[in-house]
Structure 1
Amino acid sequence: MPTSYDIPEVLDRREGPYGEVVLRRHGELLQIIANGCFLMDTSDGRSERMLVDTALAALDDRPDPHVLIGGLGVGFSLAHAAANPRWGQITVVEREPAIIDWHRGAGPLSVLSARALADPRTNIVETDLVGFVNETCATFDALCLDIDNGPDWTVTDGNHGLYARTGLTSCARVLKPGGVLAVWSAKPSPEFEQSLANAGFQQVRTEEIPVARGVPDVVHLAVRPG
């Protein structure tokens, strides 16, 4: 018979602009579910931190780089970026108002992100990432994207275009010369590597995060030509 530990507790459930989003507690973990699809939890964060670190390392010694983090999630990427004084500015684009609310004030996820949100370098933009990269006039040194389970497993159909040639062209447009695109994925995608190369990116490679069982998480990396 299941114990209370085995049954996730729903902390909040909302109908957002792109469907239902749920925050639940499962034991000590907090989990975000979107339209019934598990997105992420607070169990680890290694791959989210790697997303930020590999992008920064690829920028070499560029002074005060500006990073765009696509997706606030549970806050691992933002918190890790804000902990590093090398980043000059940190912009986070998140389309779900509920997720932003869970981080603010005494929200359930604020324990992970409160310090980062209070950092003067941090700016939260409530909008859809796909539309943002298509329309913004701003430019960035790095784009760290973690809005789906990967290029081949998107949360909503509208995200597919981000990983196709048109979306990647938009990503290149908002990157400064020599800027880095880093994309988190729950599994490697050779097809996406080829799409990056076809879109004109250079130094395309994939970094793996080993897991205890199954396919490793990865970060796809590519550089806009200088």
Structure 2
Amino acid sequence: MYSALPERDSSAAVVTLDRREGPFGEVALRRRGQDYEIIANGCFLMDTADGRSERLLIGVALEELDRTGPVARPSLLIGGLGVGFSLAHAAAEPRWGRIAVVERESAIIDWHRGGPLAAFSAGALEDERVEVLHTDLLEYLAGADGARYDALCLDIDNGPDWTVTDGNAGLYGADGLAVLRHRLEPGGVLAVWSARPSPAFEEELRAAGFSDVVTHEIEVARGVPDVVHLARRAR
């Protein structure tokens, strides 16, 4: 468990820097004091104030792969570019091989390519190992390319029990977990970010045939901790 950070300054001025309508609704980029926020259809999605849990998402996946013997140049799929913390953390680790990041919002990709969020992805989009896939994660997973990964790290919602897009709810049930399991190499690792713990999702993971299910908590200034749910596909 990680220690809590001081509470953010809620009195800081908020400025909307960009707002766009897309096929999934409105997405906006705001600046609150020194921090940036992504808002999807009026719902707070993430910001640049912390980043510990987004980095942990990547770190614990690699640690879990190492636990049963290091994988040479493991492949990684990141679900959601967001503010770039997860991608930057992955690109800073030379051991990762292919790094694919799926992002459905063209605006978010633009904000990282010469926009205000470029500083937080830290040049990772130019890394030769990195491929940005501009598509919806569910459509990609159900697609025909059939690529498998050693690690799937997902941060596309506020968690299995609190989805930003209604259609994403299926990803966390039996059918969605079966697709995720199929996209993992034998012994591969699934890591899922959540804004709060979900014992029900832990049980869904076990029922879907995942093993070594564990939840890592990250304390926040107020409320329940952020978590990363971790599980492994059997070899």
Same-fold call, TM cutoff 0.5: yes
Q: CA deviation at 1:121?
A: 0.5
CA distance in 2: counterparts of 1:123 and 1:17, whole angstroms:
22
- Aligned-pair CA distance for 1:213: 2.4
Aligned with residue 36 of structure 1, among 37, 42, 54: 42
The one of 64, 68, 91 aligned to 2:73: 64
Instruction: Please point out which of 38, 44, 55 is paired with 1:49.
Output: 55
RMSD over aligned Cα, in angstroms?
0.9
Give the equivalent residue in structure 1 for 2:15.
9
**Residue in structure 1 matching 2:139, options 118, 131, 134:** 131
Deviation sequence 1:43-96 (CA, Å, 0-9, x none): 010000000000001111111000000000000000000000110111000000
CA contact (8 A) 1:142 1:175 kept: yes
Counterpart residue identity of residue 166, structure 1: D
1:219 CA displacement: 0.3
1:69-80 aligned within 5 A: 69-80=78-89
Q: Secondary structure at the match of 2:123?
A: helix
Contact persistence 1:92–1:122 (CA under 8 A):
yes
TM-superposed deviation, 1:6: 3.1
Give unmatched runs, 5+ long, in structure 1.
Answer: none
The corresponding residue for 2:126 is 118
Runs of 4 or more off by more than 2 Å in structure 1? none
Whether the 8 Å CA contact 1:21–1:34 is kept in 2: the answer is yes
1:59 is paired with a residue whose SS is: helix
* TM-score, normalization by structure 2: 0.92
Query: Greater relative contact order (Cα 8 A, min sep 6): structure 1 or 2?
Result: 2
Corresponding letter in the other structure for 2:95: R
Paired residues of 1:103 and 1:114 also in contact (CA < 8 A): no
Aligned to 2:5: none
Other-structure match for 1:162: 171
Question: What is the alpha-carbon distance in structure 1 between the residues aligned to residue 23 and residue 131 of structure 2?
Answer: 21
1:128 counterpart letter in structure 2: D
Say whether residues 1:203 and 2:186 are aligned partners. Answer: no
Q: Which residue of 23, 26, 47 corresponds with 2:29? A: 23
What residue in structure 2 maps to residue 90 of structure 1? Answer: 99
Aligned residues: 221
1:117 counterpart letter in structure 2 = L
Structure-2 separation of matches of 1:210 and 1:185: 12
Alpha carbons 1:93, 1:124 under 8 Å: kept: yes
Shift of 1:212: 2.6
| Residues 157-166 or 209-218, more deviating | 209-218
> Any gaps of 5 or more consecutive residues in structure 2?
1-10
Q: Equivalent residue for 1:141?
A: 150
**Equivalent residue of 2:142, what SS?**
helix
